[in-house]
Structure 1
Amino acid sequence: MSAAARGDRRVSPVFLALVAVMGVSLWAVWTGFSASPGFAVFLFVVSGWVVSLCLHEYAHARTALHGGDISVGAKGYLTLDPLKYTHAMLSIVLPVIFVIMGGIGLPGGAVFIERNRIRGRWRHSLISAAGPLTNALFAVVVTAPFWLGTMDGVPDHLRYALAFMAQLQVTAAILNFLPVPGLDGYGVIEPWLSHKVRRQVEPFAPFGILAVFGVLWIPEVNHAFFDMIDAVLRGLDVMAWDTYWGQQLFRFWEGTPDIPPLTGLVIG
């Protein structure tokens, strides 16, 4: 491998800095070091979210590389640098706003794959599926202490932070897998559609995510959606109690919530 190729795949210092912030804020939540536990939770969740965004886009790029698009390296997509994937407003500011407003993991970031280099419909579908599958895997990893039954001794604040982070990953995975133009779910099925259908749908791609969130504002749809999210999280042994207090802690600017102790609490 040439020096240039190695440089194209060297992990970005920006990504390493994000991981460091995530690690330090995790330590602060665990030890109670911060005077504001909510601020530590906020830093942990936001840095973790951006790390997951990098991994999501890296998964798209890496799969595309193996599928035949060798241009992804020169574009910096294999460095895990969020600045290569993101638009500041669409990928960072708006997602944080949606997290604050409703605990929804807004899909953000983008890698531009040269699809003409990819041969085979299955490869195209796999490239699109790789991103949300990464969110799903991230959720499984984050919730491992819950479903492995190793939460004894873990501070409550960290328990709630992990639960809320898992909720964001699950919502991101499910939203991304919707077969809506502009989302990865549509990218999975697009190679199997006729050329005529693809041309008819293409103009709607920029508005797909807006339509999804418009529909989510409908109370009945919103309740059904979060009932589904809660059901998935229960399958990972994460209860609604955990995600609720995680979100309350995340909103540190509202003050530290008075959280009842878990001891003796029956969660059903």
Structure 2
Amino acid sequence: MDHSATFSFFGSLNDFIPVSKRGQPLPYCFAGAPAVKDAIEALGVPHPEVEVILINGQPVDFYRPLQAGDQVAIYPAASRAQHPESYSVRAGLLPPDAFVLDVHLGKLVRALRMLGFDSCYRNDYTDKDISHIAQSENRIALTRDVGLLKQKSIRWGYWLRSQLLTEQLGEVISCFHLKKKFRPFTRCIACNGPIVEVQKESVVTQLPPKTKLYFDEFYQCNCCGRVYWKGSHYERMQEFIGRYLNP
């Protein structure tokens, strides 16, 4: 026998709902007793974007079986302050400060590394690779692919709404409250390795002629050996970072 329940999505979760159906209760027909998580994702919303689920006014986890006549309200992370901490589907857990990004986000990964965030990326990662890394290394999966975020093994994740780098970075900083966690210029933007200060003599053979003449302070990646110094590019990077520290 088929049953039905009614789902209401709030805030940014409506980004996953067809425009004509946003902001209104959605009927959902089902057989048996599926987990509420399965119903949420069948309606288009990936589970990592969900923070609170209320069924008939009571908080539940993703695995509560759906019953006929249930009234289901689903809230995003931005609404966390509206509910007691115990209502969260991830109560007691804090999101990590490390990321893994899909193939579409090569520019974003460089920006996150510039801010000091541990960010894994390769342009040949498959969805399986990303979900495995996210789970095994406790990383937030960032993607432009909604389907990737529906993989069961991904606990933390976010779907980038914008295709513009400046807006994407703002989304991630806002969603995961990163502003106070910036550690600029501590990671290599090329390979993600840690950067340390080094003596000029140890890297002098890697420097362009004019750099040898005009600069004396240098930093090097412990992993790939790339050398950094505070040239004109450094000033541009500081200006870029300042947009997010002082919006």
TM tier, shorter chain?
A: under 0.3
Provide TM-score, normalisation by structure 1: 0.23
- Specify which structure has the bigger relative contact order, considering alpha-carbon pairs within 8 angstroms and separated by 6 or more residues: 1
Provide TM-score, normalisation by structure 2: 0.25
Q: Which has the larger radius of gyration?
A: 2
Q: Which has the higher helix share?
A: 1
Q: Which has the higher strand share?
A: 2
